[in-house]
Structure 1
Amino acid sequence: MGSARLNRPVSFQAALLAPLAVAIGLALALQPVGMAGALLATPLGPGRALLTPIFPLGARLILAPLQTLIATEAPIALPLDIGQLALIAALGIWLAHRLARRERLLAVAWSPVLLPVVVFVLATGLTAFSAYSLGAWLNEWLKWVQVLLLIVVVLHAGQGERWRWLVFGLALAGAANALIGLYEFFGGSGALHLLINDRFFRAFGTFGQPNPFGGFMGLLAPLVLCTTLSHALALWRDWRMQRLRLPGVLWTLFYAGASGLIVVGVFISWSRGAWLGFAAAMAAVVFALPRRLWQSIALVATLAALVGGLWLAGRLPASVVARVSSATQELFAFDDVRGVDITPENYAVVERLAHWQAALNMARAHPWLGVGFGNYEIAYADFRLMNWKFPLGHAHNYYL
């Protein structure tokens, strides 16, 4: 898409309604299911939703991060988690929207993003033939089919200028969750098992666990940072041409504030995976920004040298350095842990390595198709190490 299209904001007056939409979504999420259904049955619910698939997608952005909160606090058990229910609603409204406009249902907008997901879905589908449990395989495989369907819906719903609302919704949802994370980081959670340096607490937002919270923040951060850069460049151009307008200033301030909150959210999750993933994502973004290859290489090399210099000079926070160093030690010091003495200090590391070793045993026994997608927990008893009786649900390593 061209630079002019990228930098042309949607109506600011319309965007002022977004906080109201977030408040309504939160209120509905905390209502009993019957009451929420009655409220959504009003003309405002389906009437507005059928106008555009953006509405249910925006609602899903608000509701999906609340999955753990709703599951634990809702007075009625839902048949599916709230994210899946919101996805079903989005798919239904998308289909109704296409039928109402007499569009072909099988006419899918193509994007390079689809190719790796399609290949992954097909490859993991083959593991059904070696699965210990077809039910467990199907449950995990359908999650990725949902991802594929969601990409298709977003490609259609975000055509034209409508994609801006999806970016805005993502930024708003991420910033709101980061604010909750900050409250938890400064003691709001009181969870002693998440204590950092006897002072702070690992943030987990509405996810219940720090790692998925950090992953959510890490996925959003590059997108929102790039959006901030886009609006800042547009604002700079308008200022030079002496046509500065209030909506442009406010949009830039909003995305800058959201970027700051989300990046902080990555770090206060204290998730090494989120940190490393965010660093890799930002390296890719920085590499893609310049128009010439040599400029990309020079820019990434300069940033790497800067970070490396700060690391070697001891200018980075010691707690952060220790946290990242422990991740590299786990990665490069992998060995047979069956004879390792388990202590409180090394328990977390040895536990993870033991589950990696169990996963490697599965790979050796089933080198072609594995034990079946999503079947790690079921197959674990046949491949576990002696001192590690219980599986963690997964190998803490997606490749394994």
Structure 2
Amino acid sequence: MARDVAPTRSIDGLGEPLTTDQQRDTTSGRTASRSATLPGSAMAFPVDPGIGVGAFARKTAPPPAWMVAIPIGLAIALIPAYLTSVLLVGVAGVAVLMARPLWALYALAFTVPYQGLADFRYQNVNVTPTEAVFLLLVVGWGTARAAGRVPSPSLTPLVIAIGLLLSLLVLSCVVAPNLVLAGKELVKWVEVAGVTLIGQSLLVRIADRRMMFLVMTAAVVSQAVYGLLQATLHWGPDHFMIGTWLMRAYGSFEQPNPYAGYLGLHLPLVLSVALFGVRTRPA
């Protein structure tokens, strides 16, 4: 004797039969309450379609703001005031340089000549702010490049030449008597190659190139003035004296030779732009 089979629906496509248990008032905007019946069993259990994502979201709700503010406030209260100011300025600077990699490129124009004033030694190697700013430049530029906000750099003859030089430096490290010093010089040329590549990608507009030149010129002029004061006011060690009235200038490079090399590299560029870089409009 055949029995009538109640209509069935499936739960998540598993084919489990559903029977209507009770229908609530549809005008209230609520969904109908249902009950699921296991195959071969007369027992039914309620099924609430609102359970699931909503309950999971309630369980993973973010903590209240005061739970985050209390440890930050305690840390600020316990740390000395000057150190708190330094940390706040440092965190703000890191955020700005990562968000604006072009500003990190501008900052390198000043950190390179003045890096000797804030360096520290680690494993017989001097670590300077230039390495930190260069790292922020690479991270910020890489993020902007992944988002498609900056163009990709091109392989110019200068980049290819620096790449060949880096290859030779890597090979020379195999026979270098001091791997620490060899690695230090290799890092310097890696930074030069990185700045050259990233500079091609960031310095696209004429206004950005002009600003880069102005920042670099300001750094060079400040070093020249600093060296002039050292030479005339005798700011430096006695063995830098030339006779009894003049001293060899060294700027912030600690030695006169690298200081002279820095000024000698930038002087032709500054003079050429100052003499021939300004376009005159016809009357």
How much does 1:118 deviate? 1.1
- Confirm whether residue 159 of structure 1 aligns to residue 204 of structure 2: yes
1:99 corresponds to which letter in structure 2?
A
Partner residue of 1:110? 155
Structure 1 residues 218, 144: closer, same or farther in 2, change over 3 A? same
Structure 1 residues 36, 230: closer, same or farther in 2, change over 3 A? farther
Task: Tell me, yes or no, if the aligned pair for 1:54 and 1:165 is still in contact at 8 Å.
Answer: no
Structure 1 runs not aligned, ≥5 long: 1-31, 242-400
Looking at structure 1, the residues matched to 148 and 233 of structure 2 have their Cα atoms a distance apart, in angstroms, of 52
Give the TM-score normalised by structure 2.
0.62
Looking at structure 2, the residues matched to 145 and 205 of structure 1 have their Cα atoms a distance apart, in angstroms, of 25
Looking at structure 2, the residues matched to 110 and 130 of structure 1 have their Cα atoms a distance apart, in angstroms, of 30
Task: Tell me, yes or no, if the aligned pair for 2:153 and 2:197 is still in contact at 8 Å.
Answer: yes
Partner residue of 1:209? 255
Looking at structure 1, the residues matched to 189 and 277 of structure 2 have their Cα atoms a distance apart, in angstroms, of 33
Looking at structure 2, the residues matched to 101 and 36 of structure 1 have their Cα atoms a distance apart, in angstroms, of 34
Aligned partner (choices 142, 145, 166) of residue 98 of structure 1:
145
How much does 1:51 deviate? 5.5
Looking at structure 2, the residues matched to 160 and 146 of structure 1 have their Cα atoms a distance apart, in angstroms, of 23
Q: What is the number of residues matched between the two proteins?
A: 198
C-alpha root-mean-square deviation of aligned residues, in Å? 2.7
Looking at structure 2, the residues matched to 91 and 174 of structure 1 have their Cα atoms a distance apart, in angstroms, of 24
Partner residue of 1:123? 168
Deviation digits for residues 312-341 of structure 1, max 9, x if unmatched? Answer: xxxxxxxxxxxxxxxxxxxxxxxxxxxxxx
Task: Tell me, yes or no, if the aligned pair for 1:52 and 1:157 is still in contact at 8 Å.
Answer: no
Looking at structure 1, the residues matched to 161 and 272 of structure 2 have their Cα atoms a distance apart, in angstroms, of 23
Structure 1 residues 48, 64: closer, same or farther in 2, change over 3 A? same
- Confirm whether residue 227 of structure 1 aligns to residue 262 of structure 2: no
How much does 1:34 deviate? 6.3
Aligned partner (choices 179, 185, 190) of residue 225 of structure 2:
179
Secondary structure, aligned partner of 1:84: helix
Looking at structure 1, the residues matched to 154 and 87 of structure 2 have their Cα atoms a distance apart, in angstroms, of 32
Looking at structure 2, the residues matched to 139 and 46 of structure 1 have their Cα atoms a distance apart, in angstroms, of 24
How much does 1:48 deviate? 4.5
Looking at structure 1, the residues matched to 119 and 95 of structure 2 have their Cα atoms a distance apart, in angstroms, of 28
Secondary structure, aligned partner of 1:113: helix
- Confirm whether residue 148 of structure 1 aligns to residue 163 of structure 2: no
Aligned partner (choices 50, 57, 62) of residue 110 of structure 2:
62
How much does 1:79 deviate? 8.2
1:199 corresponds to which letter in structure 2?
W
Structure 1 residues 186, 122: closer, same or farther in 2, change over 3 A? same
- Confirm whether residue 39 of structure 1 aligns to residue 89 of structure 2: yes
Secondary structure, aligned partner of 2:119: helix
Q: Which has the larger radius of gyration?
A: 2
Secondary structure, aligned partner of 2:118: helix
How much does 1:156 deviate? 1.2
**Identity across the alignment (%):** 22
Partner residue of 2:21? none
Looking at structure 1, the residues matched to 169 and 251 of structure 2 have their Cα atoms a distance apart, in angstroms, of 31
Structure 1 residues 173, 85: closer, same or farther in 2, change over 3 A? same
Looking at structure 2, the residues matched to 214 and 61 of structure 1 have their Cα atoms a distance apart, in angstroms, of 17
Partner residue of 1:218? 264
How much does 1:181 deviate? 0.6
